[in-house]
Chain A
């Protein structure tokens, strides 16, 4: 149950695109299509942004997109807006009905 690897920080200017990576192993990210992404603002509960690698729940702007290649999943935020500044976490199925989170990435909108 080792945490997935995310960059501690990422940044971009309003209107730009930024991509956050989430690297695991063939036992988690690479072995299943159960990767989700969460957005968390300070003092708030996390919000589901992407499920099953690339599916957007209702209400999530289409500026948010997900993908996966091998053992690495990615979240791309296009057309950055000030309200996108938050912490982002990936999570993946890790077998035996368990899941594992990434360490989190702090996204700064410059």
Chain B
């Protein structure tokens, strides 16, 4: 079935690094743009990053530019998010999401993976 499964979350100290993965199945992964969206505990949704269908271009929210890198391996149907120089304010559930049509329309979401940045 069509699904996205995130992994790689955990507890990390401020300044540390973490790599999230998102495994896709049930749809032609290489045909769709993919996004990362996060949600801090008890807070709203926040868009984080976007990778074009072929991985040639990536875009980020200002607060993670230079620290986060989104990439994809279309041969393995996998999306990744490398997070460096982590800050307490990066603590959140991180979701990967598949583009549906146009900008901001995501029709498939993963279950999310929790990232906690704390000393």
Write the residues of chain A forming the contact surface with B, with a CB cutoff of 8 angstroms. Answer: 1, 3, 32-36, 38, 40, 45-48, 51-52, 55, 57, 87, 89, 91-93, 96-104
The reply to whether A34 and B112 contact each other, CB–CB distance below 8 Å, is no
Residues in B whose Cβ lies below 8 Å from that of A89: 44-45
Q: Report the count of interface residues on B (CB-CB < 8 A).
A: 24
The reply to whether A36 and B105 contact each other, CB–CB distance below 8 Å, is yes
The reply to whether A35 and B50 contact each other, CB–CB distance below 8 Å, is no
Cα-based distance from A69 to B106 in the complex (angstroms): 23
The reply to whether A34 and B44 contact each other, CB–CB distance below 8 Å, is no
The reply to whether B45 and A46 contact each other, CB–CB distance below 8 Å, is yes
Known contacts A32-B103, A99-B103: A46-B109 contact under CB 8 Å: yes
Known contacts A1-B61, A45-B111, A98-B50: A52-B105 contact under CB 8 Å: yes
Cα-based distance from A31 to B63 in the complex (angstroms): 23
The 4 closest A-B pairs by CB, nearest first: A51-B105, A93-B103, A45-B109, A104-B44
For the A-B complex with A36-B105, A45-B110, A98-B60 known, give 4 more contacts whose Cβ atoms are closer than 8 Å.
Answer: A32-B103, A38-B45, A89-B44, A93-B102
Known contacts A1-B61, A3-B44: A99-B104 contact under CB 8 Å: yes
Closest residue of chain B to A96 (Cβ to Cβ) is B59
Cα-based distance from A68 to B66 in the complex (angstroms): 35
Q: Which residues of B from 92 to 119 have beta carbons under 8 Å from A?
A: 95, 100-107, 109-112
